[in-house]
Amino acid sequence: KAGVTQTPRYLIKTRGQQVTLSCSPISGHRSVSWYQQTPGQGLQFLFEYFSETQRNKGNFPGRFSGRQFSNSRSEMNVSTLELGDSALYLCASSGLAGGPDTQYFGPGTRLTVL
Amino acid sequence: KNQVEQSPQSLIILEGKNCTLQCNYTVSPFSNLRWYKQDTGRGPVSLTIMTFSENTKSNGRYTATLDADTKQSSLHITASQLSDSASYICVVIPYNTDKLIFGTGTRLQVFP
């Protein structure tokens, strides 16, 4: 099976812009979770989607939003970018809605905000 | 205070040597504890998954242990290789939730 794919791999934006990141889960997986990873904070949970519904949400401002399509592909959007949004954004897919099932991570999108 | 703390923050060892990474957690109860390996510029890859009732789980040269009484887990790497250079992240999943609580990781460097 092909793994989790994320596009783009690298992105450079300026403050105030918005950005959309894409994640394609492993075929057959219905749960997609998004994480932000920074050197100082480690991995932080953004949100999880299962069957096009947001099931869990982390403690991030409303500038961070997401959605999931009927084919389980997911997008994450960040509006009004701030310098602190520079991070590696990881998406992970699993067969179940979270729980003990293993999450498989994609390679991530490295976002740099100038 | 983080609910999952890892030590050391970074570690340098010589190729062929063994090492042990520590994870202390306060999450209770929990359904399972996982160790991930993350190579630079890549997403984390699952190494081991242990339920609260398991004491040890091996995956090749990686052996994870769990002591639920002291709320500690360790990841032991045997006969380290250069490719073991990576960050190792301990993750705890609270009971009856879908959320993953991540430690900040241990950065391991293996030198020849």
Inter-chain residue contact A4 with B43, CB threshold 8 Å = yes
pLDDT for the residue B99: 74
Q: Which one-letter DSSP state was computed for residue B60? A: T
In this prediction, residue B28 has a pLDDT band, given cuts at 50, 70 and 90, of: confident
A30 touches chain B (CB under 8 A): no
Contact B105, B7 (CB under 8 A): no
Task: From A102, A87, A76, A94, select the one nearest A42 (Cα to Cα).
Answer: A87
Residue type, B2: N
Considering only CB atoms, which chain A residues are within 8 Å of B49?
100, 102
Closest chain B residue by Cα to residue A92 = B43
In this prediction, residue A101 has a pLDDT band, given cuts at 50, 70 and 90, of: low
The answer to whether the peptide bond before residue A8 is cis (omega within 30 degrees of 0) is: yes
Residue range B23-28: average pLDDT?
Answer: 92
pLDDT tens per residue, range A45-88: 898 898 899 988 888 999 999 999 999 999 999 999 999 999 99
A66 Cα to chain B: minimum distance (Å) = 17
Distance in angstroms (rounded) separating the CA atoms of residues B78 and B45: 18
Considering only CB atoms, which chain A residues are within 8 Å of B95?
none
pLDDT tens per residue, range B37-77: 999 878 898 899 898 889 999 999 999 999 989 999 999 99
Helix and strand element counts for chain A (H, E): 0, 11
B45 touches chain A (CB under 8 A): yes
Residue range A14-32: average pLDDT?
Answer: 94
Considering only CB atoms, which chain B residues are within 8 Å of A98?
93, 97-100
What is the overall mean pLDDT for chain B?
A: 92
Of A14-23, A52-61, B4-13, the least confident:
A52-61
User: How far apart, in Å, are the Cα atoms of B15 and each of B18, B21, B62, B85?
Assistant: 9, 16, 15, 10
Distance in angstroms (rounded) separating the CA atoms of residues B83 and B93: 28
Option in A42, A56, A90 nearest B104 (CB): A42
B42 touches chain A (CB under 8 A): yes
Task: From A3, A18, A9, select the one nearest A113 (Cα to Cα).
Answer: A18
Interface list for A 45-84 with B (CB within 8 A): 45, 48, 55-56
B89 touches chain A (CB under 8 A): yes
Distance in angstroms (rounded) separating the CA atoms of residues B4 and B25: 4
Residue range B96-110: average pLDDT?
Answer: 87
Inter-chain residue contact B98 with A97, CB threshold 8 Å = yes
Maximal CA-CA distance, chain A:
38
Judged on CB neighbours under 10 Å (0-12, 13-18, 19+), A65 is: middle
Of A69-73, A101-105, B104-108, the least confident:
A101-105
User: Could you tell me how far CA A18 lies from the centroid of its own chain?
Assistant: 15
Closest chain A residue by Cα to residue B42 = A107
Backbone angles phi, psi at A15, to 5 degrees: -55, 140
Judged on CB neighbours under 10 Å (0-12, 13-18, 19+), A84 is: exposed
pLDDT for the residue A1: 62
